[in-house]
Amino acid sequence: MPSLLHALTAASGLSRRKAFSAIREGYVTVDGEVRTEPSSEYESGLIALDGRLLDTAARAHVYLMLNKPPDYITTVSDEMGRRTVLDLIPARLKAPGIHPVGRLDRDTSGLLLLTTDGDLTHALTHPRFEIEKEYWLRSATPLTDQQVAQLRSGVEIDGEPRRPLRLRRLIEAEPFQTSITIREGRNRQVRRMLEVVGARVTSLRRVREGPLTLGGLPEGAARALTRDEIEALRSAERPTKRGDGLRGGAPSSQRRPSP
Ligand code: URA
């Protein structure tokens, strides 16, 4: 069950420290009752901050970002008893119905969103919406110019030509060498695209999904999204006419992105 502090942070966009003080100092009510214990359970009810009712959508749902380490399965529960991404979510952030938005392979690390908001999950994972996903990868040997050219011109995955929206070499991003951005989310798409051109991915990390980046979130850690981040995600839901991935191929850049 989420705490009042968590619910207030998610609904108001305040930092945890400011939300904590607001509760302690008596500025927060639930259904008109003043609540001064930040760690008390919050299930439902109208939260007001200094008399102002907070946004219902943000209040009702939980939105989290996890920096997934390798060796965790992207599922709510695993029949074979393997470790799942839910095992990494602290009890204070969990809520009934929380589930991963899309999936990362067992071996892939990085940014994974989790939410109780099925509408947002649908919007972010439906091919029609084509949310950008950026991955940093390391391959056994750095990509050759020929492999880069081949990827940019499109490779066949599941019988359809796919090419990255952007592909660029990274500098100062040890151990990663290449950034690749795609819009679709076919099963193991990045690894399979690389396989087609004869490169073997040795590590893969998602550093961005739509407008959200991992930032300094340590591997294995989870945090609630801020209200601004939730709104940015909602406005990134951009239906497009075609989801065939035959776009992009922007020129290579030597700039290092900052996730
Ligand atoms: N592409 C992959 O190959 N693996 C992932 O986990 C995500 C995208």
Domains by residue range for the chain, with CATH:
4-53 (3.10.290.10), 131-219 (3.30.2350.10)
**Integer CA distances (angstroms), 254 to 110, 238, 257, in order:** 22, 29, 9
Closest atom of ligand 1 to CA, residue 133: 8
Per the annotation, the verdict on 105 as an active-site residue is yes
Q: Is 23 exposed, middle or buried (0-12, 13-18, 19+ CB in 10 A)?
A: buried
Residue appearing with tokens 């700039």: 255
Question: In terms of pLDDT, which residue wins out, 2 or 142?
Answer: 142
pLDDT digits (tens, 9 = 90+) for 190-241: 999 999 999 989 999 999 999 999 999 999 999 999 888 988 988 876 554 4
Q: What is the pTM of this model?
A: 0.73
Task: Tell the burial category of 105 from Cβ atoms under 10 Å away from its Cβ (0-12, 13-18, 19+).
Answer: middle
Token pair 């990827």 is found at 151
Q: What is the pLDDT of residues 88-142, one digit of tens each?
A: 999 989 888 899 999 999 999 999 999 998 888 988 888 777 789 999 999 988 8
How far does the centroid of ligand 1 lie from the alpha carbon of residue 208, in Å? Answer: 13
Return the residue whose CA atom lies nearest to atom 4 of ligand 1: 188
> Sorting pLDDT into bands at 50, 70 and 90, what band is 146?
very high
Ligand 1 centroid vs 207 CA: distance in angstroms?
12
Ligand 1 centroid distance, CA of 191 (Å):
6
Ligand 1: does its nearest atom lie under 6 Å from the Cβ of 105? yes
User: Are 197 and 151 spatial neighbours (Cβ–Cβ below 8 Å)?
Assistant: yes
Given the residues 50, 71, 87, 105, the one annotated as active site:
105
For ligand 1, say whether the CB of 61 is within 6 Å of any of its atoms. Answer: no
CB distance 184 to ligand 1 below 6 Å? no
